[in-house]
Amino acid sequence: MALLGDCPINVTNGVVQFGEEVIEGDDLSSLFVYPRPESDIASIGVVSGTGMLGFRASDRLPYFVSGVAYPDFTVMRSETLLKRSAGVVKVGFFDNEWKLP
């Protein structure tokens, strides 16, 4: 059993895949949450990068700070640290069955 089960988001070297949509680049950081397979109460929080630029940018994101709220999934380029929302590539929420809208 895979840790993320059948999660529709897949992050690999140089690519973030949302179902059929592919976003390429080694500067992507992604944050998302997905329920743990076969559990009604546990979720998995994912912090990932598609390359060193993406990993380094995710190091500066305040995801463990009280009061900071992110949607279910966020993908941004490393330039987000300088250009703010102009660097955000994709953001949103899963539907009630944890599928992409």
Residue pair 12/54 in contact (Cβ under 8 Å)? The answer is no
Could you give the maximum distance between any two Cα atoms of the chain, in Å?
Answer: 40
State how far the alpha carbon of 35 is from the alpha carbons of 11, 19, 46, 56, in Å. Answer: 17, 17, 11, 26
Buried b (16+ CB within 10 A) or exposed e, 75-85: bbbbebeeeee
Mean pLDDT of the region 53-65:
85
Mean pLDDT of the chain: 89
Residues 6+ apart with CB under 8 A from 83: none
Predicted confidence (pLDDT) at residue 68 exceeds the cutoff of 80: no
The per-residue pLDDT for 15 is 96
What are the sequence ranges of the domains in the chain?
A: 9-92
Residue 10 CB coordination number (10 Å):
13
Please tell me the pTM assigned to this model: 0.85
Which phi and psi (to 5°) does residue 86 adopt? -65, -20
H or E segment at 83? helix 80-83
Residue of higher predicted confidence among 61 and 23: 23
The per-residue pLDDT for 58 is 86
